[in-house]
Structure 1
Amino acid sequence: MVRNTGRSATSDWVIRSAQAGSIERIEAWFGNHGYDPHRHDTYSIGRTLAGVQSFHYKGSLRHGVPGNTLVLHPDEVHDGMAGTEAGFRYRMAYIDPSLIQNVLGGEPLPFIAGGLSNDPRLYHASEALVQAVDHPLEAFEEQDALYDLAVALRAVAGKPSGRKRLDYQSAERARAFIMEHLHLGITLEMLEHVTGRERWSLSRDFRTLYGTSPYRFVTLRRLDCFRRLILNGLTLVDAALAAGFHGQSHLTRHFTRCFGVPPLRWLERLRRAR
């Protein structure tokens, strides 16, 4: 992917990896404000390349600098802004919790307090995932990196205490059903029928294992579909309806809560990076 090194210092930009795969990777630069408060159901694993990357997280203002690793937990509210007038540049990989569960096999998702870590185990384990976005990840390399990341997250976070036994198989059946039937009006009753698990226990385990509620999971998968459609040239209205939203305003509300900017602004930043 070719970068335009002649951009003005006031022009924010985001580059997404063009590689089709299970992990979304970006590199971005912001001169001031980046994102409003938002939350998504992936781990956000990042590396500040230059400047100070500031963000509100769990009630405090954090500051990412080169040398540490950002680890934002799924579905935790955060924003993003430059910590100095010099702006900041960073890379981020968005990791579906199900990929971590492929390694952990039903353990609660590891939580890294504060959203930042100086632990060298996390830094080295995340290195392959936050390399330049124009470097394609081979399938084997990605799988190896995901294993290393899951093990490092578990080691750095420590083992949670006081958790009841989780029904990973039922939660995974529910997740697989959702992925195959996004076109339906999915309900907890449906998931209860598919899994044979009482709906509220299933919902609790789903949150612990995948970082978000079943309803949010459905909504965010539809947002993924919407992003693919607008990148392929569909209008916002047509893409919103095709992805399962009631209309553009319904879509915009959910999109902004998830990504911190409205869809047109998100698309504009990507276009600037081309």
Structure 2
Amino acid sequence: MNIAFSPCPNDTFVFHALVHGLVPDAPPFEVTYADIDITNRLAAERSPDLDVLKISYAALPWVLDDYALLPCGGALGRGCGPLVLTGSGQVGGPEGAAALSGRRVAVPSERSTAYLLFRLWAAQHVPGGVGEIVVLPFHEIMPAVRDGKIDAGLVIHEARFTYHLYGLTLLADLGSWWEADTGLPIPLGAIIARRSLDLAALSGWIRASVEYAWAHPDASLDYVMRHAQEMSPDVAQAHIALYVNGFSADLGEEGYAAVRSLLGRAMEEGLVPAFDLSKLK
């Protein structure tokens, strides 16, 4: 069976047991490591070589006819949302978010959950809207803001722990905004699988992999750090602690409610194609 997920610590931690043959009764899994903007595209293209993928929740409306959302293995949570960053003294100040009006903003993907949240947030807080949206790999965004090549950047992952090293200023925490606005956790990354597969068995194997990771937290350390893209061990562990939580084992009613709220709002705003919300579960 073929699976695609990112090399980020939360994904390698979650899937370590599954891809190393440590989950009883699970078949062998071949891994494609790719950033989420690539897996979003592969899912939209219905790549015949992949059975299971980690994608953005924002990308779900384009693929739900062929893929089902699995209830485990993904990333939801509190206090873990994307950040809007600016260079020190460049944008923001007394004007706050309104200072983004007409500005150039870098985002990691046009179908990322981060960008969808940004668009919902900007509709409330940036009069007239932002100016140009520039898509950059997420690891290039903070240097571009620091160097004044763009006015603001939308960042994800471990940037939450490292942006101060670039001398950047936090303009908005979109996770905090979402939680205050809805009372719900923020949906970030979803695990999807072809509807033709045994979805109950797949969910069981992935849940067992999550539980193995928690029961044996040191077992995956070498694997996680091998793929951590020069991240320090402390940052990698903080990354895992933030993004791997109870929702990784089971979305539950609260998790599904968060996904329905995000994508329902996005449909109302015309930001994603209309679809039947009942397909989420």
Greater RCO structure (CA 8 Å; 6+ sep): 2
Q: What is the TM-score with the length of structure 1 in the denominator?
A: 0.27
Q: What is the TM-score with the length of structure 2 in the denominator?
A: 0.26
